[in-house]
Amino acid sequence: MIAVIGLVLGVLAGLVVQPVLPSLMEPYLPIAVVAALDAVFGGLRAMLDGIFNDKVFVVSFLSNVVVAALIVFLGDKLGVGSQLSTGVVVVLGIRIFSNAAAIRRHVFRA
Amino acid sequence: MWPPRFSRAQVIVAVLLFVLGLGLAIQVRSTSEGGPLRGARQEDLVRILDELDDRTARLQDEKQRLEGQRRELENSSDQAEEARRQTKQKERELGVLAGTVGAEGPGIRITIQDPSRAVDADMLLDAIQELRAAGAEAIEINDVRIVASTYLEGSRKVRIDGHPVSAPYRFSVIGEAKDLEPALNIPGGVVQTLEREQATVRVTPSEKITVDALRSAKQPDYAQSSE
């Protein structure tokens, strides 16, 4: 419950304060957000499976974000930034879908 | 799940989700608010910049071309203006010669009194010829302009171009006074010939002679310019 409150607070803070991101970080933010979403869906599924571990969640969240940003950074340096970030988004999207399917099975038993 | 348990794990998860929400909000806002270039990748930006450079170069070329054209047009209009000015000047000069415009300048006045009515057209013509030879530029006798086609006739009743003129004959002559006066006064010249006929001639130089008798320009019927 407190996690949901944290999410809502974050969105509100972003909308109200309107922080300006340093332009150096700008290209990594969308990928990092998608990676974090993947971690969150994974955590949700684990919670429903009853195997949720806060340590695993924290590590997977952070590593997802860092790896995603790293891949985009590397892609930019290699000149294939747009293709690589597309690839990352596709992979993370597939994972989010499969996690969402598992969550659905738990919630609706179908 | 309610009331929330403030365990360490819960708080950490909440903090991470807070960060996620923050990132989501920032990204959504910058995507929806920023210009179309905000989310563009580096190579796209380079391409767009190249296109803009190309466009700038093209427009620069265009500008140069148009400026050249403008310069050309200005030059040609200057030339046309100059030609018009010269034509105007020429017209005025020719107008003085043809008697279609008034003229003024330094010159002399000649008054010929003729009590015995002995002066005839030949003598006036002699006087005109002498004046022309001395460089007279515009001549008027009793309000009749003397031009290239002027003719004099009659022995006792003089007519100039068909206009009867009678004594006293008043000449207004524009030209160099110190050339015109001696030309009339040379021995055996105009003045002496007239005085032999009992006419009195008075010549007065003047700084400002006005010749304002006009003739209408006549379109030649037969003579065409051969140029």
DSSP string, B30-69: HHHHS-TTTT--HHHHHHHHHHHHHHHHHHHHHHHHHHHH
Distance of CA B96 to the CA centre of its chain: 19
- For residue B14, the chain A residues in CB contact (below 8 A) are 2-3, 5-7
Smallest Cα–Cα separation from B169: which of B103, B117, B100?
B117
Gap between the Cα atoms of B224 and B61, Å rounded: 52
- What does each C-alpha distance from A15 to A1, A5, A43, B21, B23 come to in angstroms? 22, 15, 25, 10, 10
DSSP code at position B134? T
Q: Which stretch of A93-102, B54-63, B80-89, B109-118 has the lowest confidence by average pLDDT?
A: B109-118
H or E element: which one contains A22?
A: none
Provide Rg for chain B, Cα atoms: 47
Q: What is the pLDDT of residue B34?
A: 58
Q: What is the pLDDT of residue B33?
A: 66
Cβ-defined contact of B4 to A30 (cutoff 8 Å):
no
B33 interfacial to chain A (CB closer than 8 Å): no
Q: Which residues contact A101 (CB under 8 A, 6 or more apart)?
A: none
Whether B124 has a pLDDT exceeding 60, the answer reads: yes
Q: Report whether B214 contacts B102 (CB < 8 A).
A: yes
Q: What is the pLDDT of residue B5?
A: 61
Gap between the Cα atoms of B19 and B179, Å rounded: 112
Gap between the Cα atoms of A87 and A71, Å rounded: 10
Q: Which residues contact B132 (CB under 8 A, 6 or more apart)?
A: B139
Residue B146: how many CB atoms within 10 A of its CB? 26
Whether A1 has a pLDDT exceeding 70, the answer reads: no
- For residue B4, the chain A residues in CB contact (below 8 A) are 1-2, 5
Is the alpha carbon torsion for A42, A90, A87, B43 positive or negative? negative
Q: What is the pLDDT of residue B108?
A: 92
Phi-psi region of B75 (alpha: psi -120 to 50; beta: other; left: phi over 0): alpha
Q: At what angle do helices A54-78 and A28-49 cross, to 10 degrees?
A: 150
| Chain A residue whose CA is closest to B2 | A1
Gap between the Cα atoms of B210 and B140, Å rounded: 9
B18 interfacial to chain A (CB closer than 8 Å): yes
Query: Of residues B37 and B214, which shows the higher confidence score?
Result: B214
Residue among B20, B27, B30 whose CB faces A40 most closely: B20
Helix (H, G, I), strand (E, B) or coil at B115: coil
B3-61 confidence digits (pLDDT tens)? 556 677 778 888 888 888 888 888 887 777 656 676 667 788 899 999 999 999 999 99
Q: With pLDDT > 90 as the criterion, what percentage of chain B qualifies?
A: 24
Whether B209 has a pLDDT exceeding 70, the answer reads: yes
Q: What is the pLDDT of residue B39?
A: 62
CA–CA min distance B56, chain A (Å): 27
Q: Which of B16, B33, B46, B47 to mutate to test the interface with A (most CBs of A within 10 A)?
A: B16
Cβ-defined contact of A3 to B21 (cutoff 8 Å):
no
Give CA torsion, residues A98, A102, A103, A107, to 10 deg.
Answer: 150
